[in-house]
Amino acid sequence: MKVMDHAEKSKVFNGDEKRVDWHDETLWFIRKKRDVATHNIPEWEDLREAGSQIKNHSLSNLNHYLQQFETNAKANGIVIHWAKDGEEHNKIVLGLLQKHQITEMVKSKSMLTEECHLNDYLENNGVAVVDSDLGERIVQLAKEAPSHIVLPCIHKKKEEIGELFHEFLGTPEGSADPQLLTEAARQSLRNTFLTRRAALTGVNFAIAETGEFVVCTNEGNADMGAHLADIHIASMGIEKVIPLRKHLSIFLRLLTRSATGQPITTYSSHFATPAKGKELHIILVDNGRTKQLARPDFRNSLKCIRCAACFNTCPVYRRSGGHSYQSVIAGPIGSILMPNLDMKKHADLPFASSLCGSCSNVCPVKIDIHDQLYKWRQVIVKEGYANPAKTVAMKLMAKTLASPTLYKMAGKAARTTLKYAPFVVNNKFNAWYLHRDMPEVPKSSFGEWYNKNRKNND
């Protein structure tokens, strides 16, 4: 169980109102860039539909495509490993490094390795890991987790990054110029790339037909690491497989426009075979994915291509910050993925939403995110993981709504109370009010109004 839930963490985040406004506006700015990019594509909705259908098809035939991918990748000279959970994944990585007596590894962005807590595991086993994506490097130096899956340090001010870089990279004290700070990271990480013998990357898409996989970055960090190392390990969830190479045109058109409003990432690298004299390994990881695939109400979440459009548009995410979710993947999509892994621990997440539906509207592969959030709430209450104070109130409300007499009485009482004694409701003992403003009081109920006016009209 978490010590503080999402609502309590958000309250802490909201202590600094200016910062919340800044966070909110920065993410909304990215959402607007997404809108400009998508409105330039007349067939955008057709693309979303095609992306959604290809993913539906892939998941419905996943057993076949995983085996086809394995066969073709092996024929290409790639070594395939299977890991049922995070622990097995981590052991495979460590085993490969130990076999080559490697104690230092460079890693590009991979939410899967965050999910498996790979860095901690490797550090505990004597392997130093350097994250090479700039945002990930920053949170790694700050000993924090990424707060956003595409923009890992979106919660950080440049002055804070300046302080970190002054301490760790020797930049001048008080300097917070993004150009200067990025240059310092470039110099430092270039040295890392040139001296590491092992590199780990994530996988954006894997192609069953050809046994190749695609990695998308803007910085070029995945490729710098992979091409300079003797051994390249690519970690991927089993849901990343799609049938044909030509399907990439659909997903690459959708991905970056949804993520940052760019037409495509700077680099979309297709790895089909190991380079001459080098090793290429792929680890196929389950870690709860087959469990989610077996849940008809929630399997759609496995269609996610990790663009984070749902984060940027979410009014709750923008105003509560990624760390309030206390999960590897925050935001709306994280709130439907994480309860699958640990329902008790992440019972608060499906409630971290206004159910406005904006997430589902921007999702490039049409995941019904807000419907799933609503469904998770029901599962969580049923399984007994809901906040007890709210459960009592909900039961009372259900009873009231089920009885016309009680409903009328309660309505009148509420109007009178809110009008004359709002403090009875608007206080810290009311779990409902804590996260909401109470509405203005109408003069009469609809029932009362209707009775009066119908009489007048008759």
Partner 1 sequence: MTSREKILEAVQSSQPDLRELPNLDLFYKTYATVEQDRAKFIQTVQMIGAKAYEVNGYEEIIKRIKSDFEITGKRVVSAVRELDQIAQQYTATDNHELANVELMILPTHFAVAENGACWVDDELFEERLLLFIPQHLVFIVKKDQIVPNLHQAYRLIADKKYGYGAFVAGPSKTADIEQSLVLGAHGPRSLTVFML
Question: How many Å apart are CA 288 and CA 84, to the nearest integer?
Answer: 8
Provide, rounded to whole angstroms, the least separation between the CB of residue 317 and partner 1: 16
Provide, rounded to whole angstroms, the least separation between the CB of residue 234 and partner 1: 13
Provide, rounded to whole angstroms, the least separation between the CB of residue 27 and partner 1: 9
Provide, rounded to whole angstroms, the least separation between the CB of residue 442 and partner 1: 44
- Binders of partner 1 in range 356-385 (CB under 8 A): none
Token pair, residue 236, equals 């991927």
Of 1, 3, 294, 402, the one binding partner 1 by CB under 8 A:
294
Provide, rounded to whole angstroms, the least separation between the CB of residue 158 and partner 1: 5
Token pair, residue 118, equals 């790979």
Stretch that binds partner 1, among 47-55, 118-126, 305-313, 417-425 (CB under 8 A): 47-55
- Binders of partner 1 in range 12-41 (CB under 8 A): 26, 29-30
Determine if 248 is a binding residue for partner 1 (CB under 8 A). yes
58 backbone φψ class: left, alpha, beta (φ>0; ψ -120 to 50): alpha
Of 102, 141, 142, 228, the one binding partner 1 by CB under 8 A:
228
Determine if 271 is a binding residue for partner 1 (CB under 8 A). yes
Q: Amino acid identity, residue 442?
A: P
Longest CA–CA separation in the chain, Å: 91
Provide, rounded to whole angstroms, the least separation between the CB of residue 362 and partner 1: 18
Q: How many CB atoms lie within 10 A of CB 175?
A: 15
Determine if 161 is a binding residue for partner 1 (CB under 8 A). yes
Q: Are 111 and 131 in contact (CB under 8 A)?
A: no
Question: How many Å apart are CA 193 and CA 221, to the nearest integer?
Answer: 9
Of 24, 35, 88, 297, the one binding partner 1 by CB under 8 A:
88
Determine if 427 is a binding residue for partner 1 (CB under 8 A). no
Looking at the Cβ atoms of 84 and 395, the one nearer to partner 1 is 84
Question: Residue 195 contacts by C-beta under 8 Å, 6 or more apart in sequence?
Answer: 104
Q: How many CB atoms lie within 10 A of CB 447?
A: 13
Provide, rounded to whole angstroms, the least separation between the CB of residue 396 and partner 1: 38
Token pair, residue 67, equals 């085996």
Determine if 73 is a binding residue for partner 1 (CB under 8 A). no
Looking at the Cβ atoms of 88 and 448, the one nearer to partner 1 is 88
Determine if 151 is a binding residue for partner 1 (CB under 8 A). yes
Of 34, 54, 307, 336, the one binding partner 1 by CB under 8 A:
54
Stretch that binds partner 1, among 1-9, 149-157, 357-365, 366-374 (CB under 8 A): 149-157
Which CB contacts under 8 angstroms, 24+ apart, belong to 11-19?
Answer: 12/324, 13/319, 13/320, 13/321, 13/323, 13/324, 14/319, 14/320, 19/157
Of 10, 130, 131, 152, the one binding partner 1 by CB under 8 A:
152
Check residue 324 and report its DSSP letter. G
- Binders of partner 1 in range 204-223 (CB under 8 A): 218-221, 223
Element spanning 265, H or E: none
Looking at the Cβ atoms of 6 and 303, the one nearer to partner 1 is 303
Determine if 255 is a binding residue for partner 1 (CB under 8 A). no
Determine if 66 is a binding residue for partner 1 (CB under 8 A). yes
Which CB contacts under 8 angstroms, 24+ apart, belong to 54-60?
Answer: 54/242, 54/243, 54/247, 54/250, 54/251, 55/242, 55/302, 55/303, 55/365, 56/303, 57/243, 58/239, 58/241, 58/242, 58/243, 59/239, 59/293, 59/299, 59/302, 59/303
Of 179, 405, 456, 457, the one binding partner 1 by CB under 8 A:
179
Question: How many Å apart are CA 125 and CA 127, to the nearest integer?
Answer: 6
Residue 302's nearest CA partner among 89, 118, 68, 62 is: 62
Determine if 188 is a binding residue for partner 1 (CB under 8 A). no
Size of interface with partner 1, in residues (CB under 8 A): 88
Provide, rounded to whole angstroms, the least separation between the CB of residue 272 and partner 1: 5
Phi and psi angles of residue 326, each rounded to the nearest 5 degrees, phi first: 50, 45
Determine if 390 is a binding residue for partner 1 (CB under 8 A). no
Q: What is the CA radius of gyration of the chain?
A: 25
Determine if 149 is a binding residue for partner 1 (CB under 8 A). no
Of 47, 94, 328, 365, the one binding partner 1 by CB under 8 A:
47
Stretch that binds partner 1, among 52-60, 309-317, 341-349, 378-386 (CB under 8 A): 52-60
